[in-house]
Chains A and B, each alone.
Chain A
């Protein structure tokens, strides 16, 4: 069965902290994605990766960075968390163009 896991379901951090969100997929997918989801705005793409050590900016990359050292793992990094980064973060993976994206359960991040 397809599985995308995220390291935390809920996270509370302080302004200025460095935050790591981890995502792991067990499907040997090439492509991985990080979205943030906010009420009324839907899902917005932060970054994606189409191969190990490769990354591309999405629509809202400011304030974020990513790391993909291994094929199955894609990390989202908030270098210095701010309150406007309080959100739900969703990771997804897929094999190729036109294929289904599979989503993790999400991490709800609160920055105080």
Chain B
């Protein structure tokens, strides 16, 4: 069965520092992979997605993610974090099929220190 693991429940970084959020997935075929961000009290906003092709994917707000098939990972990175990046981040894998449900990780909450 498909699954997504985000090993870090909560991460704190200083403003201006680099960020890497980890995501590992279990899926039998080439997956569709997504990162979403959720600000407090809000819905989810898509940061970036990987379907095929270049394994380094650029997203909005200066985020990028790299698909590594050998490690079953899709880690999210940002070179310099801003205070406004404080939010919860969800990794998701497309479950396949014509409807293509998403399987979500449990999320990583990011706090940013001034």
Contact (Cβ within 8 A) B43 A97:
no
Number of A residues with CB within 8 Å of any CB on chain B: 27
Stretch of B63-71, B76-84, B91-99 with 4 or more beta carbons under 8 angstroms from chain A? B91-99
Q: Which residues of B contact A (CB under 8 A)?
A: 9, 32, 34, 36, 41-46, 49, 51, 90, 94, 96-102, 104-107
Contact (Cβ within 8 A) B106 A40:
yes
Does A105 sit at the interface, judged by CB under 8 A? yes
CA distance A65 to B93 in the complex (A): 25
Q: Which of B45, B46, B99 has the most CB of A within 10 A?
A: B99
CA distance A7 to B34 in the complex (A): 26
Q: Chain A at the B interface: mostly helix, strand, loop or mixed?
A: strand
Which one of A40, A48, A90, A96 lies within 8 Å of B101 (CB-CB)?
A48
Contact (Cβ within 8 A) A41 B106:
yes
Q: Which of A31, A92, A98 has the most CB of B within 10 A?
A: A98
Contact (Cβ within 8 A) B107 A90:
no
CA distance A50 to B100 in the complex (A): 10
Could you list 5 A-B pairs, sorted by A, with CB under 8 Å?
A42-B107, A97-B98, A98-B51, A100-B49, A103-B43
Contact (Cβ within 8 A) B46 A100:
yes
Contacts of A98 in B (CB 8 A): 32, 51, 94, 100
Contact (Cβ within 8 A) A97 B90:
no
Q: A41-B106, A42-B105, A42-B107 are in contact. Are A94 and B44 (CB under 8 A)?
A: no
Contact (Cβ within 8 A) A58 B101:
yes
Contacts of B45 in A (CB 8 A): 103
Contact (Cβ within 8 A) A100 B34:
yes
